[in-house]
Amino acid sequence: MAIYSKDELINMVKGAGLRVTDHRLLVLEYLAKVKQPVTVYELVEDLRKKENIDQATVYRNLSSLHEAGLLRRLDFNHGHAHYELETGHASHQLVCNNCETIEKIEGISIDDTVKKMLKKSKKFKHTTTHSMEIYGLCKTCA
């Protein structure tokens, strides 16, 4: 998990060509601190404890930050998206099919697999990052 200062987050927003707003920074600061991808519902609930922010504002900011490449939108087949800060590093998650628990796993490399995929690819020359989800049952549900 990467920790970013407020100045670094401001520079990220500016570097993406977006206007720096309090709500954008609030969303980015929250996502920079959490260890797991979060849903919009979780984000709204936690941000409302600190700030008067409505769900539509959160959605708009998530959309613009995602389009600018600052957020990663993940779909775990739960019927809703999860978001995390785009760090440029690979993202790997274990996802429970039953209770929807998500555990982010860091420090695992699948570089050899990615190289083999690129070697077989007819349309791609290189990758910039990747996201991988493995589905199963958590220890509680097993």
CATH of residue 6: 1.10.10.10
CA–CA separation, 122 vs 94, rounded Å? 30
DSSP state string for 73-115: EEE-SSSSEEEEE--SS-EEEEEETTT--EEEE-S---HHHHH
pTM of the model as a whole: 0.77
Domain match, 80 and 109 both? no
Q: 127 is written with which tokens?
A: 């990758």
Can you give the pLDDT of all 142 residues of the chain as single tens digits?
457 899 999 999 999 999 999 999 999 999 999 988 999 999 999 999 988 899 999 999 999 999 999 999 988 887 889 999 988 777 788 999 999 888 888 878 888 888 999 999 999 999 887 788 899 999 999 9
Identify the pLDDT of residue 43: 94
Which of 64, 87, 110 terminates a domain? The answer is 87
